[in-house]
């Protein structure tokens, strides 16, 4: 019986050590699990922020594209206006030049009539 008691004490001691080891392993595994859950949560938060940022950037890109189209239209209109103004200016200068020549011709005629000695 004493041998049996000694064997039971040895087995109890082994069981206690095994229980402590298992408890330590459970704690370690639980800590790893919590760390991984935190990491997953952080990753999900980062993904949500990235998706929000992508949506915002798409919206901004759309607004910029619309702005560029409006600017292109404005530039085309301004170019057309400048071409028309250039044409009007060219016609005006030609008209002014013809009027100037006509005025010089009239001036010469009047000078010939009123100041014949100069010619």
Domain ranges of the chain: 2-118
Residue range 27-65, pLDDT digits in tens: 999 999 999 999 999 999 999 999 999 999 999 999 999
Residue range 85-100, pLDDT digits in tens: 999 999 999 999 999 9
For 93, the token pair is: 């200068």
Q: What three-state secondary structure class fits 45? A: helix
Residue range 69-79, pLDDT digits in tens: 999 999 999 99
**Does pTM surpass 0.85?**
no
DSSP at 115: -
What integer best gives the mean pLDDT of the chain?
A: 95
């Amino acid at each position: 019986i004493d041998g049996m008691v000694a064997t039971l004490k040895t087995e109890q001691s082994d069981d206690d050590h095994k229980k402590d080891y298992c408890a330590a392993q459970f704690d370690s595994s639980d800590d790893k699990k919590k760390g991984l859950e935190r990491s997953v949560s952080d990753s999900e938060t980062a993904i949500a922020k990235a998706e929000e940022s992508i949506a915002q950037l798409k919206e901004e890109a759309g607004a910029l594209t619309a702005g560029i189209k409006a600017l292109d239209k404005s530039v085309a209109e301004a170019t057309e206006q400048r071409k028309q103004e250039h044409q009007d200016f060219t016609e005006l200068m030609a008209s002014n030049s013809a009027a100037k020549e006509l005025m010089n011709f009239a001036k010469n005629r009047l000078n010939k009539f009123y100041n014949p000695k100069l010619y």
